Structure 1
Amino acid sequence: MRIIKLDATNSTNTFLRQLSHTNKLDDYTVVVTNSQTQGRGQMGTVWENIPGKNLMFSVFKEVSFVAIDDHFYISIVVSLAINKALNTFGIPKTFIKWPNDILSDNKKICGVLIENVIKQGAIKETIIGIGLNVNQTSFDNLPRASSLKQITGLHYDKELLMLEIIKNLKDYFELLKQKSYNVLKTAYEANLFRKNKPSTFKNAEGSMFLGFIKGVSNSGKLQVLLEDNVVKEFDLKELELLY
């Protein structure tokens, strides 16, 4: 496994993607940095961090064995790998907030940005960006953010955390390669934040409504039981979970 360590970069995903354009990369080539100046999240959000305190890395993986209709299983694999690593390190009450944020209790501690490379209608490669709040203890104007150190009071070795996540990625990607979809989806849904609990949502028009998270579809849409006893599916642009 090749690990490229950078003191600073604009984005580990961008660096790794550009590297893949000019080099043939092996699976689990990793770019990790102490400081990310233009870290990105889902839906164009910006991820802020204090240099040296958090774990910021991206992983390259060849995924031509994943059908384009099953692309959400890549997100499932990544979420499960991070969640299991955090459990190994004793982080309490971890959940996956759809689609792939990781929470401890109700505080966000990890964000994921997955960028799939699609050629001729098929997924060929994926670049998985992971930002984990590790030893940072102050988050200005981010009341829902926390870190491992804030939660447990302990200082963590970022490289050990990264290696544990990568080990789990290998295990879960092997399950995906074996087409163990039910195993992966069941494990993902078992860890879903606020599953089967009354929750408030906001739709794309800004209207709020109540519902119960029941699971996800194979394409990654969130399945919500509404007041009229109907299960409706929502994609990421259609729904925000308020908590």
Structure 2
Amino acid sequence: MPIIKLNAIDSTNNYLRKLINEADVADYTVVMTNEQTQGRGQMGTVWSSENGKNLMFSVFKDLNKYDVEFPFYISMAFSLAILKTFKTLNIPDLHIKWPNDILSADKKICGILIENVIKNKLNSTIIGVGINVNQTDFKNLPKASSLKKITGVHYNLDEILQLVINYTKEYSSLLQQGKYELVKNEYETNLFRKNKPSTFKDAEGALFSGFIKGVTKYGKLQVILEDEIVKKFDLKEITLLY
């Protein structure tokens, strides 16, 4: 597993994307950095981190030999790999907040940004990860936490990275074996606020109530509304308030 370590970079996803445009890149190549000046999250949100305290990296996954009909399964598999890493580290009360934030209780400890590379078909994917590890001060971020803040333990970043890659290979293998429902069922089992009364905000800012039922194979969130109708929402259409 090739690992490229950088002191600082605008974005590990950007660095890896440029790399694959210029040369052949080995499967599971990792780019990690101590400081990321333009870290991004879902829908263009900014992800900032104290220098050297957290795990910021991107993984290249070659999909050239595989027919990926539903790319959201990659997101589910990688979310589960991170979740299993945290379970191995005995982080309590873990859930996946749709589509792929990892929470301990109701605090975000990891964000994932997946960018697919398409050349006639889905050719590869770049998985960007930000894990709050040893940072304990999160000014103006009341919903953020870290592994150290939760457990009091100071963690080795390289050891956590190795766990993530090992479990990523494990879940990738399940997809390659065609065990899609197994991955989807495990993902839905760990969904934050599944089957609990929840409040949502739509794209126009209107609030409504419902119960999270699960996800579709296309990655849409299935919500049971008050009239028992199941409605499917895309990422830009709904926000879970918690």
Mapped to 1, the partners of 2:190 and 2:85 lie a distance apart of 14
Q: 2:231 maps to which residue?
A: 232
- Which residue type is aligned with residue 169 of structure 2? K
Task: Note the C-alpha offset of 1:63.
Answer: 1.5
Distance 2:38 2:131 in 1: 15
1:218 is paired with a residue of what secondary structure? coil
1:22 counterpart residue number: 22
Counterpart CA distance in 2 for 1:24 and 1:175 is 25
The CA distance in 1 between the partners of 2:158 and 2:67, in whole Å, is 29
**Structure 1 segments unaligned to the other structure (5+ residues):** none
Q: What SS class does the counterpart of residue 70 from structure 1 fall into?
A: coil
The C-alpha deviation readout for 1:158-186, integer Å capped at 9, x for no partner, is 11001000000001011111111110000
**1:9 CA displacement:** 0.6
2:39 corresponds to which residue?
A: 39
Whether 1:197 aligns to 2:199 is no
Secondary structure of the structure 2 residue equivalent to 1:232: strand
Q: Which residue of 2 aligns with 1:71?
A: 71
Question: Residues 64-93 of structure 1: CA distance to partner in whole angstroms, max 9, x if unpaired?
Answer: 3143x4010010011000000000001001
Name structure 2 gaps, 5 residues minimum: none
Rounded to whole Å, the distance in 2 between the matches of 1:80 and 1:239 is 22
Equivalent in the alignment of 2:135 = 136
Counterpart-to-counterpart distance in 2, 1:199 and 1:79? 22
RMSD: 0.7
Report the counterpart of residue 52 of structure 1 in structure 2: 52
Q: Does residue 173 of structure 2 align to residue 169 of structure 1?
A: no
Distance 1:161 1:213 in 2: 31
Question: 1:119, CA displacement in angstroms?
Answer: 1.7
Question: CA offsets, 1:19-64, max 9 Å, x none?
Answer: 1111101100000111101101100000011000000000001123
Counterpart Cα distance in 2 of 1:222 and 1:192: 10
**C-alpha contact (below 8 Å) 1:55/1:134 kept by paired residues:** yes
Partner of 1:211 in structure 2? 210
Q: Give the structure 2 partner of residue 159 of structure 1.
A: 158
What is the deviation of 1:220? Answer: 0.5
Partners of 1:66 and 1:10 lie apart in 2 by 32
Once residues 63 and 228 of structure 1 are traced to their aligned partners in structure 2, the CA distance between those partners, rounded to angstroms, is 42
1:105 aligns with 2:117: no
* Correspondence for 1:179: 178
**Could you tell me how far apart the structure 2 residues matched to 1:39 and 1:149 are?**
21
Counterpart position of 1:241? 240
Q: Which runs of 4+ in 1 moved over 2 A?
A: none
Aligned equivalents of 2:77 and 2:26: distance in 1? 19
- Residues 66 and 177, structure 1, Cα contact 8 Å, conserved in 2: no
Render the CA deviation track for 1:104-151: whole Å, top value 9, x for unaligned: 00000000010000122x100000000000000001100000000110
- Between the aligned residues of both structures, percent identity stands at 61
CA distance in 2, matches of 1:100, 1:24: 28
> For 2:195, what is the secondary structure of its paired residue?
coil
Q: What is the distance in 2 between the residues matched to 1:56 and 1:129?
A: 8
| Letter in structure 1 aligned against 2:211 | F
State the TM-score, normalizing by the size of structure 2.
0.98
Report what 2:2 is aligned to. Answer: 2
In structure 2, what residue type is equivalent to 1:171? Answer: E
Please say if 1:95 is aligned against 2:119: no
Give the whole-Å Cα distance in 2 for the aligned partners of 1:181 and 1:235. 21
